[in-house]
A = this chain, B = another copy of it.
Amino acid sequence: MERWETPVGTLAKEAKTAWPLLARTTGAQRDRLLDRMANALIEHADRIQAANAQDLAAGGASGLSEALLDRLALTPARLVEAANGLRQIGELPDPLGEVVGGWKRPNGLDIRKVTVPLGVIGIIYEARPNVTVDAAGLCLKSGNAVVLRGGKEAIWTNRALATILRRALTAEGLPPELLQLVGTPDRSELDLMLRLRGDLDLLIPRGGKGLIDHVVQNSQVPVIETGAGVCHLYVEASIEVSTAIAIALNAKTQRPSVCNAIETLLISRAAVETHLAPLLEALLEAGVALRGCPETVMRFPAAAPAQESDWGTEYMDLILAVKIVEDVDEAIGHIRRYGTRHSESILTHDLRTARRFQQEVDAACVYVNASTRFTDGGQFGFGAEIGISTQKLHARGPMGLKALTSTKYLIDGDGHVRG
């Protein structure tokens, strides 16, 4: 098993060397590869499950929390889901070779801008071993080699998965180095990985805020930040109370632990008399703990007083901050100050206010009369999602396969020289 001791710098270089063979494949070949990978997972389910049991036993012995053990578990159902996920990725349109622009210059030069793979992508993640399968599928489908660096807790599962997926590459006539696993992940290996500019073309950290911040602050390799979501729902008087309740409940309670759930409800002063109490009652009834601005608490004493820190907190829980604002200007100002540029929504029937909100709120996704929970690759129709970018460079918002591509210009002349 000395393979698993290979330093990450070597893994990345091997991947870079192997990558041109993948870049040269057709979409059909890559789809066949993903199908083969899916089959291999099912075929070797026993081995994977045994490795996962080993991780779970070690995790239990070392006192991992129930929540972490759950994330670590690759149950038979989850393994089937991972295999099906690979097949679904395989069925998506090839993101490569698309001519996204093209024109003829006055001198007759033909210019085409086409999508191409990025090269070698590093994925840094935590306990969940299904990310190993998912990230490998997304990267290989888009013509990229991948260096996977999962959590220590999942090491036996990840080694088993990587071994099986690499065999599928070999069986497809491709070098196994297109899929690399950091076999002994520790902090020093992670920090080495952040310095591999040139060998790695992109790093995507997937996990908690601590991990993402560490990568963003220390990486010399370009990073796509998939950050926190302090999302707001701003309610105006013109929206029906029932609609406001339905959307607030959906945005807060359908799945409170995800980044596109709301953390703060802003209510326009004009809506206070009509909307505040019914909204807060419905939320309370759904089990949401409320933290209000002074006026909210005065009007609705079941809400606890919010601290300044509440406005910038991503609770990821059934907790909601509530604030009464004068108007859309104050709402936009509040979002500018406390939001994380992820997803923001206004509920109104006033066209001018809706337009201003969409134009002036600086966020990846700005909604009118809809729940912020739609910020998701699947909900957007991308078929697969690598994550949700909260940065502005390269990709912003839900990222489909296209986010894993770059472009190059192909220029055709007939002896053209520059005058």
Q: In the complex, A220 Cα to B413 Cα: how many Å?
A: 40
Please determine whether A418 and B109 come into contact, CB atoms closer than 8 angstroms.
Answer: no
Please choose the segment from A43-51, A262-270, A391-399 that sits at the chain B interface, where 4 or more of its residues have CB less than 8 A away: A391-399
Find A409's partner among B109, B393, B397 (CB 8 Å cutoff).
B397
A416 within 8 A of B: yes
Q: Which residue from chain B places its CB closest to the CB of A17 in the assembled complex? A: B336
Q: In the complex, A220 Cα to B212 Cα: how many Å?
A: 13
The 3 closest A-B pairs by CB, nearest first: A370-B413, A250-B417, A392-B406
16 A-B residue pairings within 8 Å (CB atoms):
A24-B360, A105-B380, A111-B380, A119-B392, A201-B392, A247-B415, A363-B408, A367-B413, A369-B413, A370-B411, A371-B417, A375-B409, A392-B406, A396-B406, A396-B408, A397-B408
A359 within 8 A of B: yes
Chain B residue numbers with a CB within 8 Å of A116 are 362
Please determine whether A118 and B392 come into contact, CB atoms closer than 8 angstroms.
Answer: yes
A291 within 8 A of B: no
Please determine whether B392 and A393 come into contact, CB atoms closer than 8 angstroms.
Answer: no
A368 within 8 A of B: yes
Q: Which residue from chain B places its CB closest to the CB of A247 in the assembled complex? A: B417
Please determine whether B366 and A409 come into contact, CB atoms closer than 8 angstroms.
Answer: yes
B-contact 0/1 string along A383-410, CB 8 Å cutoff = 0000000011110110000000011111
Q: Which residue from chain B places its CB closest to the CB of A376 in the assembled complex? A: B418
Please determine whether B408 and A369 come into contact, CB atoms closer than 8 angstroms.
Answer: no
Chain B residue numbers with a CB within 8 Å of A23 are 360, 362
A284 within 8 A of B: no
Interface centre among A118, A201, A394 (most CB of B within 10 A): A394
B-contact 0/1 string along A147-169, CB 8 Å cutoff = 00000000000000000000000
Chain B residue numbers with a CB within 8 Å of A412 are 367-370
Please determine whether A411 and B360 come into contact, CB atoms closer than 8 angstroms.
Answer: no
B-contact 0/1 string along A221-257, CB 8 Å cutoff = 0111000000000000000100100110111001000
Find A374's partner among B251, B375, B411 (CB 8 Å cutoff).
B411
A residues at B contact (CB < 8 Å): 20, 23-24, 103, 105, 109, 111, 116, 118-119, 197, 201-202, 216-217, 220, 222-224, 240, 243, 246-247, 249-251, 254, 336, 358-360, 362-371, 373-375, 379-381, 391-394, 396-397, 406-418
Chain B residue numbers with a CB within 8 Å of A365 are 408-409, 411
Chain B residue numbers with a CB within 8 Å of A250 are 417-418
Q: Which residue from chain B places its CB closest to the CB of A405 in the assembled complex? A: B392
Find A406's partner among B201, B370, B379, B393 (CB 8 Å cutoff).
B393
From known contacts A370-B416, A373-B417, infer whether A394 and B396 are also in contact, taking CB-CB under 8 Å: no
Please determine whether A393 and B202 come into contact, CB atoms closer than 8 angstroms.
Answer: yes
Q: In the assembled complex, how far is the CB of residue A177 from the closest CB belonging to chain B, in whole angstroms?
A: 16
Chain B residue numbers with a CB within 8 Å of A391 are 222
Chain B residue numbers with a CB within 8 Å of A359 are 24
Q: In the assembled complex, how far is the CB of residue A343 from the closest CB belonging to chain B, in whole angstroms?
A: 9
Q: Which residue from chain B places its CB closest to the CB of A242 in the assembled complex? A: B415
From known contacts A20-B336, A374-B418, A406-B393, infer whether A411 and B366 are also in contact, taking CB-CB under 8 Å: yes
Please determine whether A418 and B371 come into contact, CB atoms closer than 8 angstroms.
Answer: yes
Q: In the complex, A209 Cα to B363 Cα: how many Å?
A: 35
Q: In the complex, A393 Cα to B222 Cα: how many Å?
A: 7
Chain B residue numbers with a CB within 8 Å of A408 are 362-366, 396-397
Please determine whether A197 and B222 come into contact, CB atoms closer than 8 angstroms.
Answer: no
Q: In the assembled complex, how far is the CB of residue A107 from the closest CB belonging to chain B, in whole angstroms?
A: 9
Q: In the complex, A222 Cα to B116 Cα: how many Å?
A: 21
Q: In the complex, A243 Cα to B416 Cα: how many Å?
A: 9
Chain B residue numbers with a CB within 8 Å of A416 are 247, 369-371, 374
Chain B residue numbers with a CB within 8 Å of A224 are 393
Please determine whether B370 and A246 come into contact, CB atoms closer than 8 angstroms.
Answer: no
Q: In the complex, A412 Cα to B20 Cα: how many Å?
A: 42
From known contacts A220-B216, A408-B397, infer whether A413 and B20 are also in contact, taking CB-CB under 8 Å: no
